[in-house]
Structure 1
């Protein structure tokens, strides 16, 4: 964002922006992007000063009071679409004008409508809406529990992605797009598919990280059955395993491998490259 973003926020009368999941992987970065432009977003979380819990509807009203725009991260549970629908209706009654929803590119490329139903709930709210569909995050290599084995004693990332490629998006780009959509005109009614500049296999990505970290890290392609057995041994529920196998299969089949122009469409600039993420990251802390 630039100073133009802050000026736009002021001239359009934005007085309060709420970031749901504001201490999480994306929300914390969205809040930081807003602060860089002199704004003071309200960070909402289950244990923060502004408490928000999808399962406790008594927390919704205080989060919406006096609010103009909300960054929405859904519960990712089985009732997410109904929750977002009811939340959007409550937001409209409270005078909220804008909703910016975190979705994912993969939900538009897999069969079924469970996750698209969340998008539909926002789009039918009657409010100004923007949907963000990012690819897999570059930061997942250091911040996602399923990638934790990369930083364990064996230094291995074992996934059923084969040689499939992904155009990993930098979370700083996602945060900049979200902040722009929350504060600027011109983003209402837009669905932005967000990716990085190039597609990498997980092996390529791990090799690049290994060089930067100066550690003997490696990627190991495993079968779905082996991955399922490893997650079962680690105590993951079958439902979680099933979803992860579906998501990794999508990558293996390269159904969303090509880079897209969503970051440029939203911000007028190219997205950051995967190398930018690698250069910025202190891998000694991983």
Structure 2
């Protein structure tokens, strides 16, 4: 069972599991078909959807309810129900910046080992996909060629969602469950200024990193998010400015056998400007 099967990592996990010939329930609020997997309705805010999603399932990829400042409130009751239904392994998507017992999903991380016999917590760094698709950074890049953060010169080991999905599939299917948390990064830590420079070169359009204060970022995010969640996100930017994400790990190479993709390779794959057709 893949929760959030239409999302950034969930859709990629479904695709990889299906390609391996495994039976997959692709769950989403609207039971949207994904890569030939069985679509099943699942809504964190509707416990009546849990039983059908869990039926015949023994392993789960868990994506928290988006934007929730307290995901444990709905996820822990679900995990207790999942254990009673026979779930043996759960792989939880968390974040590198949120440790065991930390805020939000950190509380689910803390409880997980006591709720399922086999488990893993994925703690990826910031997604490279934040600069494409519908993420706020992608929208401002398209709108006015800016990336706005409160990270200063802080560096991040940005990671491709394809690599996160590869680690997730390993954690779901390997004979030995990780039973640990896994910090997942790309091959190098770079600043948002570095990202802007690569995007300028690859897309052919000038992209600039615009530095905000913690307070201005919080207020900007609070226009679309609950103030508690906006504050937490602004706090994460401040932590980056202080060096909290300036690191890389060997998780992708060690578990999947291939090196993690770097940001330039991602940008050239996803964002390169179209070449002119010959006349």
- Alignment TM class, shorter chain as reference: 0.7 to 0.9
Please tell me the root mean square deviation across aligned C-alpha atoms, in Å: 2.1
Partner residue in 2 for 1:212: 202
Which among 179, 182, 187 is matched to residue 177 of structure 2? 187
Question: Is contact 2:163–2:252 with CA below 8 Å preserved after alignment?
Answer: yes
Q: Does 1:201 align with 2:191?
A: yes
Within 5 Å, which residues of 2 pair with 1:133-172?
Answer: 133-143=123-133, 145-147=135-137, 148-152=139-143, 154-172=144-162
For 1:225, what is the secondary structure of its paired residue?
A: helix
Deviation, structure 1 residue 231 = 4.0
Whole-Å Cα distance in 2 between the matches of residues 236 and 122 of structure 1?
27
Q: Does 1:97 align with 2:88?
A: yes
Question: Is contact 2:214–2:235 with CA below 8 Å preserved after alignment?
Answer: no
Partner residue in 2 for 1:87: 78
Q: Cα deviations across residues 135-180 of structure 1 (Å, max 9, x unaligned)?
A: 001111113532121110x211121111110000111010011111
Partner residue in 2 for 1:26: 9
Within 5 Å, which residues of 2 pair with 1:107-146?
Answer: 107-108=98-99, 112-143=102-133, 145-146=135-136
Deviation, structure 1 residue 247 = 1.2
Question: Is contact 2:140–2:146 with CA below 8 Å preserved after alignment?
Answer: yes
**TM-score under structure 1 normalisation?**
0.86
Question: Is contact 2:90–2:116 with CA below 8 Å preserved after alignment?
Answer: no
Partner residue in 2 for 1:250: 239
For 1:23, what is the secondary structure of its paired residue?
A: coil
Q: Which runs of 4+ in 1 moved over 3 A?
A: 111-114, 228-232, 234-237, 282-285
Residues 1:239 and 1:82: Cα distance change in structure 2 (over 3 Å): closer
Residues 1:209 and 1:203: Cα distance change in structure 2 (over 3 Å): same
Question: Is contact 2:128–2:263 with CA below 8 Å preserved after alignment?
Answer: yes
Which among 30, 37, 40 is matched to residue 47 of structure 1? 30
Partner residue in 1 for 2:251: 262
**TM-score under structure 2 normalisation?**
0.88
Question: Is contact 1:192–1:266 with CA below 8 Å preserved after alignment?
Answer: no
Q: Cα deviations across residues 8-41 of structure 1 (Å, max 9, x unaligned)?
A: xxxxxxxxxx100000111111111212223342
Partner residue in 2 for 1:13: none
Question: Structure 1: any 5+ residue segments left out of the alignment?
Answer: 1-17
Question: Is contact 2:219–2:230 with CA below 8 Å preserved after alignment?
Answer: no
Deviation, structure 1 residue 259 = 0.5
Question: Is contact 2:89–2:172 with CA below 8 Å preserved after alignment?
Answer: yes
Q: Does 1:74 align with 2:64?
A: yes
Residues 1:220 and 1:47: Cα distance change in structure 2 (over 3 Å): same
Provide the aligned length of Structure 1 versus Structure 2. Answer: 265
For 2:246, what is the secondary structure of its paired residue?
A: coil
Q: Cα deviations across residues 172-215 of structure 1 (Å, max 9, x unaligned)?
A: 01001111111111233121110000010001012101211111
For 2:77, what is the secondary structure of its paired residue?
A: helix
Deviation, structure 1 residue 268 = 3.3
Which among 232, 252, 264 is matched to residue 275 of structure 1? 264
Deviation, structure 1 residue 216 = 1.4
